[in-house]
């Protein structure tokens, strides 16, 4: 018997990258998966900023499948820049998609899970939600908000059978990352960024999907309120080149 047999999952951001890999992984582990994204090619084409669309989609999932066991919220956008150069419209776009979108997806997840008395909500935050980065501003603020929303919800819903966690990925090779690292002239920075991961490479979407599947499953039955860093060592500490000096690399 597969780990998620008989369960119903929603994955947002499922048309690409981490969301697409997660939808595939949850289905492979036995879940019935309803996919959502702003682009076509998913079960529910919606903007996570649109409350009535999110409300209706979750209602439809539960009407069709009878339950809602796990939600992996991966829809998100990159953006930002040093604050003095940042337009308020760009701030609103990034914070609205990443933070308000998380609030709305989590709100309708929680409403159905409360009625059921069980469930697992998994938000995809970022290591940029737990530490600063150059020009991070709106993105980091939005992801820091996702981490704190996750912990607050874990407090509110733990006694009602709902676990709420987030995953903080490092650099994962998806269109979102490639849009930044493949921009003309940024090659040296791409190398630097990749090198900051202690494992010497960017992650693969499947390496976040496997962690999401774990958090969705009963293997994680005592984990809630956690921001799980999955970053190939990016945030573990500094490498300054001493190992090379010692002849180890």
C-beta closer to ligand NAD: residue 67 or 204: 204
* Partners of residue 172 on adjacent β-strands: 203
Query: Are residues 225 and 158 in contact, defined by beta-carbon separation less than 8 angstroms?
Result: yes
Stretch that binds ligand NAD, among 36-44, 79-87, 211-219, 220-228 (CB under 6 A): 36-44
Is 171 a binder of ligand NAD (CB under 6 A)? Answer: yes
Q: How far apart are CB 161 and ligand NAD at their closest, in Å?
A: 26
39 interacts with ligand NAD by CB under 6 A:
yes
Q: How far is the CB of 162 from ligand NAD (least distance, A)?
A: 21
Stretch binding ligand NAD (CB under 6 A), from 44-52, 62-70, 151-159, 211-219: 44-52
DSSP secondary structure string, the chain?
Answer: --TTTT-EEEEESTTSHHHHHHHHHHHHTT-EEEEEESSSSSSEE--TT-HHHHHHHHHHHHHHHS---EEEE---------GGG--HHHHHHHHIIIIIHHHHHHHHHHHHHHHHT-EEEEEE--GGGTS--TT-HHHHHHHHHHHHHHHHHHHHHGGGTEEEEEEEE--B-SHHHHHHHTSTT-HHHHHHHHHTSTTSS-B-HHHHHHHHHHHHSGGGTT--S-EEEESTTTTT----SHHHHTT--
> By CB under 6 A, what part of segment 68-87 binds ligand NAD?
74-77
By the rule CB under 6 A, 162 interacts with ligand NAD = no
Q: Interface with ligand NAD includes 169 (CB under 6 A)?
A: yes
45 binds ligand NAD (CB under 6 A): no
Q: State the catalytic residue, choosing from 44, 108, 139, 157.
A: 139
Site pattern 90..109 for ligand NAD (x: CB under 6 A): -------x---x--------
For position 22 contacting ligand NAD by CB under 6 A, the verdict is no
Residue 49 lies near ligand NAD (rule: CB under 6 A): yes
Applying CB under 6 A, the site for ligand NAD has a residue count of 27
Active site residue 139: yes
Contact status: 229 vs ligand NAD (CB under 6 A) = no
Beta-bridge mates of residue 169: 230
Q: Which CB, 22 or 224, lies closer to ligand NAD? A: 22
Active site residues: 139
């Amino acid at each position: 018997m597969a780990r998620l047999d008989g369960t119903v999952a929603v994955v947002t951001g499922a048309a690409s990258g981490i969301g697409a890999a997660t939808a595939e992984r949850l289905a492979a582990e036995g879940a019935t998966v309803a996919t959502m994204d702003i682009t076509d090619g998913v079960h529910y084409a919606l903007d996570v900023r649109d409350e009535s669309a999110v409300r209706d989609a979750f209602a439809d999932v539960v009407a069709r499948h009878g339950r809602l066991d796990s939600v992996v919220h991966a829809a998100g956008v990159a953006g930002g820049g040093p604050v003095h150069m940042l337009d308020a419209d760009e701030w609103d776009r990034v914070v609205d998609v990443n933070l308000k979108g998380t609030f709305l997806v989590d709100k309708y997840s929680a409403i159905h899970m409360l009625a059921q008395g069980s469930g697992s909500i998994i938000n995809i935050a970022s290591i940029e939600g737990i530490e600063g980065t150059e020009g991070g501003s709106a993105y980091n603020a939005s992801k820091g908000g996702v981490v704190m929303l996750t912990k607050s919800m874990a407090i509110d819903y733990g006694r009602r059978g709902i676990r709420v966690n987030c995953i903080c990925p490092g650099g994962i090779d998806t269109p979102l990352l490639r849009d930044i690292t493949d921009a003309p002239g940024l090659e040296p920075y791409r190398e630097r960024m990749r090198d900051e991961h202690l494992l010497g490479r960017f992650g693969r979407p499947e390496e976040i999907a496997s962690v999401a599947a774990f958090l969705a499953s009963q293997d994680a039955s005592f984990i809630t309120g956690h921001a799980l860093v999955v970053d190939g060592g990016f945030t573990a500490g500094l490498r300054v080149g001493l190992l090379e000096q010692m002849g180890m690399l």
